[in-house]
Amino acid sequence: MSHGLARGLTNYGDRDFALYLRRSFARSMGYSDAALAKPIVGIADSGSGFNNCHRHFPELIAAVERGVLAAGGLPLRFPTISLGEVFLEPTSMLYRNLMSMDVEEMIRAQPMDAVVLVGGCDKTVPAQLMGAASANVPAIQLLAGPMMTGRHEGERLGACTDCRRFWAKYRAGAITKDQIDGIEGRLATTSGTCAVMGTASTMACLTETLGMALPGTAAIPAVHADRLRAAEASGETAVRLARTGLTPDRILTAAAFENALRVLLAVGGSTNAVIHLTAVAGRVGVTLSLEALNRLSDETPVLVDLKPSGQHYMEDLFAAGGVGAVLRELAPRLRLDCLTVTGETLGEWLAGPAGYVDRAVVRTADEPFQAVGGLVALFGTLAPGGAILKRSAAGARLFEHEGRAVVFQSLDDLAARIDDPALDVTPDDVLVLKNAGPIGAPGMPEAGYLPIPQKLSRAGVTDMLRISDARMSGTAYGSIVLHVTPESAAGGPLRLVTSGDRIRLSVKERRLDLLVEAAELERRAERVEAIAAPPRGYRRLYLDHVLQADAGCDFDFLRHPSRR
- Chain residues in the site for ligand FES (CB under 6 A): 53, 85-86, 121-122, 193-194, 198, 200
Q: What is the 3-state secondary structure (H, E, C) of 238-265?
A: HHHHHHHCCCHHHHCCHHHHHHHHHHHH
Judged by beta carbon, residue 271 or residue 485, the one nearer ligand FES is 271
The residue type at 271? T
Q: What is the 3-state secondary structure (H, E, C) of 37-105?
A: CCCEEEEEECCCCCCHHHCCHHHHHHHHHHHHHHCCCEEEEEECCCCCHHHCCCCCHHHHHHHHHHHHH
Alpha helix (H) residue ranges in 157-269: 161-171, 177-184, 199-210, 225-244, 248-251, 254-266
Integer Cα distance of 199 and 48 in angstroms: 19
Nearest approach in angstroms of CB 508 to ligand FES is 33
Nearest approach in angstroms of CB 184 to ligand FES is 14
The residue type at 505? L
Residues contacting residue 415 through CB under 8 Å, at least 6 positions apart: none
Orientation of helix 199-210 relative to helix 124-135, angle to 10°:
30
Nearest approach in angstroms of CB 277 to ligand FES is 17
Judged by beta carbon, residue 57 or residue 349, the one nearer ligand FES is 57
Judged by beta carbon, residue 192 or residue 215, the one nearer ligand FES is 192
Judged by beta carbon, residue 200 or residue 467, the one nearer ligand FES is 200
Nearest approach in angstroms of CB 145 to ligand FES is 11
Judged by beta carbon, residue 122 or residue 316, the one nearer ligand FES is 122
Nearest to 221 by CA among 314, 341, 299, 142: 314
SS3 for 380?
strand
Nearest approach in angstroms of CB 82 to ligand FES is 10
Integer Cα distance of 207 and 209 in angstroms: 5
List C-alpha distances in Å: 421 to 54, 430, 446, 458.
Answer: 42, 17, 25, 11
The residue type at 73? G
Nearest approach in angstroms of CB 475 to ligand FES is 7
The answer to whether residues 265 and 534 touch, using CB atoms and an 8 Å cutoff, is no
The residue type at 550? D
Nearest approach in angstroms of CB 162 to ligand FES is 12
Judged by beta carbon, residue 100 or residue 457, the one nearer ligand FES is 100
Judged by beta carbon, residue 162 or residue 429, the one nearer ligand FES is 162
Nearest approach in angstroms of CB 518 to ligand FES is 43
**Which secondary structure element, helix H or strand E, spans residue 212, and what is its range?**
none
Nearest approach in angstroms of CB 86 to ligand FES is 6
Judged by beta carbon, residue 5 or residue 160, the one nearer ligand FES is 160
Judged by beta carbon, residue 270 or residue 297, the one nearer ligand FES is 270
